[in-house]
Chains A and B, each alone.
Chain A
Amino acid sequence: MMNTPFFELRNITKYFSKVVANKDVSFSIEKGEVLALLGENGAGKSTTMKILYGLYRADSGEIIMEGVERKINSPKDAMALGISMIQQHFSLVPAHTVTENIILGNVHGRIDRKGCEREIGELARTYGFDIDPKALVKDLSVGVQQKVEILKALYLKARLLIMDEPTAVLTPQESENLMQFVHEFTAHGNSVIIITHKLKEVMAVADRIVVMRNGEVHGDLKCSDTDEKELSRLMIGRDLIPSKRAEDDESADNHEVRLEFDNTSVVERDQVPRLKDISFSIHRGEIFGIAGVSGNGQQELCEVICGALSPSSGRILLDGEDITRLTIRERIDRGIGYVPADRHKDGLVMDMSLAENMMLKASYGKKWMHHGLLDTNALNNYTNTLIKEYEIKAPGPEAIAKGLSGGNQQKVIVAREVDNGSKLIIFDQPTRGLDLGAIDYVHKTIFAERAKGKSILLISTDLSEIFTLSNRIAVLYKGVIQGIFKRSELTTEKIGLLMAGYDVNKGCTDER
């Protein structure tokens, strides 16, 4: 270990107007070290790293490299110092090839396509990445896209690699591979900073951990000196009591079947099937969880149920009725609620008021009409009721949706869909990006709706969430169900293998 640290941040402070994002943040990283930056959503970790990478400028504080103070005013400066950052949302151009993405900004004049492709191919091979330099980024899976991002950093001869929530989109096995890469990379004297909120990961891979909360550093410890409980306390500021699972875990198998998928597939001409021969059923009063890495057919599954996507074969039945050919509107009328993964795109109209958003699924019916015109009074009252019931922090029904925090926005969607979904509610990534309080609330709501006898379809990449909530769990891989199991029959290991496509003996069968 060197005496002077590789990089040091001293008293970094950053305000966004009067909001303090970072306050006197100070820590350092040695060469060959893996540092985990741990904290909840909104703790300020991304901000700090963006300052280090030159995307933001700190209002005060210094950045010191190997004992010498440096000014980093743009990503170009950071890259010149050997810093590379891989963000959560990749900065790749989907329509371009791997090579084109990597050389962007790094070549001058005429592009020697063949030469660059060769160079990048060799680089990939050196690190054991299986990437085709000529492939179009949009055709690659998310895990491979991440590798392209890493390759780009390696191409730039990065010595400090910053990764923002890298395992959010990976299977357990891919996460392992990534950690492997991190070990090799640091063994060469390079350093890695991982931003994450996953405690298990941190314990597994980090040498040192810096915990942030509300923009300040609340802990700087060696991994060997601490444990998950302490970290969790530093992250949240108090001891976390996990929400109790419903005590009665009786399976709902003996209830009636509500939703049934019968050999449904979504196949487009000449393309890999997005869903293949999906068959399962959900009973009344049951929470059916679907695990799997994003992009393996979950989106298609949701869309087939709610009506946005038509299957190429097979049927879907709701309470015995064949709804395969019904329109979205007809399905909403039949009591299917959908809390989508992409809130801003599919769930809310950000520029409209809360009351108007509440009406989103009911605009065709007579529910809100009075003499042919909109009954704004009734709508406002209804919205107010829901605001109170769900404890949504908002000034009133006239508040514009985009002014609310993420957690409150999700509550609005949940409130609406729970009301609309009298028979079946689909929850797609319902707690992504929410703080613990909101997550807890959503979980409670899901349990409550199950108790009312509704069927719940839960899709999540968060395995602990799947395990906490589901009666039964199915795993989706490349559009095919890898097995349907009772919760008790699965372990993290097993589910990880299934998520990666390994054929473990399919557990309990699904009675049809």
Chain B
Amino acid sequence: MMSTPLLYGSISEVFAERSGMMVTAIEGIFLLGAWGGFVGTFLSGSLLIGLLAAILAGVVTSALYGWICVYLKQNQIVTGTAINILALGVVSFFHRVIFGVPITPLTVQPLVALPIPILSKIPMVGPVLFNQNILTYMMYLIVPVAYFVLFKTSIGLTIRSAGENPEAVDVAGINVNRIRFAMVLLAGAMGGIAGAFYSVGYLGMFTINIIGGRGWIAFAICFLGNWNPKGALIGALVFGLAEAVAIYMQSNGSALFPNELFIALPYILTIVLTVTRKSFNVPARLGVPYSKEN
């Protein structure tokens, strides 16, 4: 279940990177999504509105990133970091503006688990797969859809070509920047949902540290999953598992291993995998802004 947000985030990152854009603002997008989702849900009482707010927050953030990186062609790593810092500032500042300093932490009702009848009763597998909340269910659909679109449709071919050789796409008469910007917005929307998962879908509350680097893990999963939705799924599951283990171990206080080890586990895992994995599918023009000679 912890894999869900990672999957949302990483699949959208796959699309964006396939078109040539590294969405380094992903951590900020997650944060804004988490916050937007929380605020929306808290103020309206409806999870749906909260979700829409999360998407909106994510898209706005990614639009700023997209404008600067696609159209103004600035350095993607620098811009992403700037936006992440700004996101931190905006969120904590406006949280204060809206809510003041609450005595007790504010909470909302998180997403309820919706067990699918019959299927959820299958021993072992049932509760794990079929007793989840609605966002996780949608995840099951997203992977095959993403795979289909990316590899079996014309738009997918165009996206992939934009990341490999944008000149080819340009010469075919398609606007490269528009495609890239669209992919960045997609990352904003899905990243927003992913962020909201942490605040509204799982914890039911919001703290400034709620994302804690998991946007970056989604980013890493895109790399490690070889820019392929199937790889992203595996990556998300692996990291989700690592995180679940960490949570379990923390609350069940194993005396053998220090707490911190489990907290650090996902990050160590990322390092190990980044070092050992040979990425042979890097889109050739990843991170390079495209400009026509004129």
Seen from chain A, the residues whose Cβ lies within 8 Å of a Cβ on chain B are 16, 54-56, 74-76, 79, 85, 87, 89, 91-96, 100-101, 103-111, 113
Contact = CB atoms under 8 A, between A and B. Distances in A.
A93 B165 contact: yes
Contacts of A76: 173
Contact of B284 (A94, A100, A108, A111): A94
B153 interface: yes
A308 B284 CA distance: 23
Contacts of A110: 152-154
A97 to B, nearest CB: 10
A105 B174 contact: yes
Interface in B142-171: 152-154, 157-158, 160-161, 164-165, 167-171
Contacts of B164: 93-96
A164 B154 CA distance: 28
Interface string B202-239: 00000000000000000000000000000000000000
Contacts, number: 68
Interface of B: 152-154, 157-158, 160-161, 164-165, 167-174, 284, 292, 294
Contacts of B171: 55, 75, 85, 87, 91
Nearest to A76: B173
Given A75-B173, A103-B157, A91 B167 contact: yes
B284 A105 contact: no
Contacts of A100: 157, 161
A345 B154 CA distance: 34
B169 A104 contact: yes
Contacts of A101: 168
A-B pairs, top 9 by smallest CB distance, nearest first, are A76-B173, A105-B172, A91-B168, A75-B173, A91-B171, A107-B154, A93-B164, A93-B165, A91-B167
20 contacts: A55-B170, A75-B172, A75-B173, A79-B173, A85-B171, A87-B171, A91-B168, A91-B172, A92-B168, A95-B164, A96-B157, A104-B158, A104-B168, A104-B169, A104-B172, A108-B154, A110-B153, A111-B152, A111-B154, A113-B152
A106 B165 CA distance: 17
Which residue of B158, B172, B284, B294 has the most chain A CB atoms within 10 A of its CB atom? B172
B153 A104 contact: no
Contact of A105 (B153, B158, B160, B294): B158
B233 to A, nearest CB: 22
Nearest to B154: A107
A109 B153 CA distance: 5
A133 B165 CA distance: 19
Given A107-B154, A108-B154, A109-B153, A93 B170 contact: no
Contact of B165 (A75, A91, A113): A91
B157 A75 contact: no
